[in-house]
Structures are given as structure tokens and as C-alpha cells.
């Protein structure tokens, strides 16, 4: 069982930056694939990014590629999402996820409660 707690959300201006953090409980954090999803108001849930257990492999949705960076610190059991060049369309609740095998674009084993990101124009 893994528990995920997100932090770092808030309000930013278009073109600005925010960094999300996700602290995970459990001794086997370093073996989990981690990732981020988001849900904007009135829209379907959307895959954002994932990172392999070692951090050597990352993957991004086209909508955030080149602007967002995912990383992890296994010693701290924490995964990060650095969001730069924010756009109003990035406004959403962002969810940290974990999977025992691999986070895919449609599913993950464990989900956090979410953190709100609001980007003003």
C-alpha cells in the first residue's frame, strides 16, 4: 500500500512557474513507477507525465512537453513536477500517482488526493 500526498499547488500567472511535490509513504517507493495526471473543470482526466523507478526514463503528454519536468528523489520518497511557462489551460487539479509496474496514460494503482493549480491570464 502506498499513500501519496501532494503539495505545491496554488495560483500562478501565465508564463510563471510552480513546482509540485508528492510525498509517498511505504518502504518500496524506489520500486514504483510514479506520475502525474490532471483534471480540468468540465474535462476528462488527462495524463501529464510519468517517471520510471530509477528516474532514468520519463514521458510527457504533448500538451506539456518542453514546459514540465518530472523528477524523483528516492531517498526522500518524493516525486516532483516542475511546471514552467504555465498557461491558463494548465489550470486543473493535479494528482500524483504510483504503480507497481508502470504508470500508463490511462491508469495507475494508487492516487493522491490532488492539489489545485490555477493559472491566470
State the first-to-last Cα distance of the chain, in angstroms, to the nearest integer.
Answer: 40
| Nearest residue to 97 (alpha-carbon basis) of 61, 47, 60 | 47
Distance, CA of 92 to CA of 79 (rounded, Å): 19
pLDDT in tens, 46-103: 999 999 999 999 999 999 999 999 999 999 999 999 999 999 999 999 999 999 999 9
Residue range 21-39, pLDDT digits in tens: 999 997 788 899 999 999 9
C-alpha count within 13 angstroms, C-beta hemisphere, residue 1: 1
Place of cell 501529464: 48
Supply the DSSP symbol for 51.
E
Amino acid at each position: 500500500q502506498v499513500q501519496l500526498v501532494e503539495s505545491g499547488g496554488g495560483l500562478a500567472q501565465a508564463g510563471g512557474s510552480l513546482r509540485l511535490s508528492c510525498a509517498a509513504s511505504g518502504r518500496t517507493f524506489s520500486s514504483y513507477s510514479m506520475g502525474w495526471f490532471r483534471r480540468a473543470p468540465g474535462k476528462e482526466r488527462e495524463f501529464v507525465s510519468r517517471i520510471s523507478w530509477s528516474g532514468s526514463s520519463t514521458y510527457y503528454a504533448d500538451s506539456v512537453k518542453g514546459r514540465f519536468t518530472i523528477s524523483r528523489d528516492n531517498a526522500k520518497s518524493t516525486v516532483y513536477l516542475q511546471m514552467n511557462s504555465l498557461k491558463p489551460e494548465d489550470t486543473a487539479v493535479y494528482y500524483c500517482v504510483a504503480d507497481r509496474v508502470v504508470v500508463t496514460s490511462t491508469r495507475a494503482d494508487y492516487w493522491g488526493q490532488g492539489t489545485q493549480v490555477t493559472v491566470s491570464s
